[in-house]
Amino acid sequence: MKRFYVASSFKNIDTVRYVSNELKNKGYIQTYDWTQNERVSTVEDLKEIGQKERNAVLEADFIIVLLPAGKGSHIEFGIALGQGKRIYLYSQDDEVNKFETTSTFYHLPEVKKCIGTIAELIAAVTE
């Protein structure tokens, strides 16, 4: 279980890169680095990136979802869930357990919730 994909929103791009680099330094393989994409301006660009991201989720042994995340990240979450992959759901605070902000899918057994620091997330993934 060494291949991974990190899903999140553009506002978390630095954290996505940090987590990805930490895992790669520990011998893990990133299936796709969406942070290298520029902002797109056409539907064709969206289609191409969507195919790459879908394939990356399918090729990954596990995915990490860094909250807050957008609709694309939640679709990637759903693809991984449908494929029976391990999902690490990261939140700096306890929003994943607050009834007003949670999702039913966050609480399934395939989802390992990681609440706290990025260092704690990396430790949970690599243990």
Scan for tokens 């607050």, then name that residue: 98
pLDDT digits (tens, 9 = 90+) for 17-29: 999 999 999 999 9
Amino acid 106: pLDDT: 92
Amino acid 8: pLDDT: 97
pLDDT digits (tens, 9 = 90+) for 57-92: 999 999 999 999 989 999 999 999 999 999 999 999
Number of domains the chain contains:
1
Q: Which residues of 33-49 are buried (b: 16+ CB within 10 A; e: fewer)?
A: ebeeeeeeeeeeeeeee
Considering the entire predicted model, what is its pTM?
0.93
CATH number at residue 67: 3.40.50.450
- Can you give the residue range of the structural domain that contains 121? 3-126
- 74's tokens: 């939640």
d(C-alpha 96, C-alpha 108), whole Å: 12
Residues 88/63, Cβ–Cβ less than 8 Å: yes
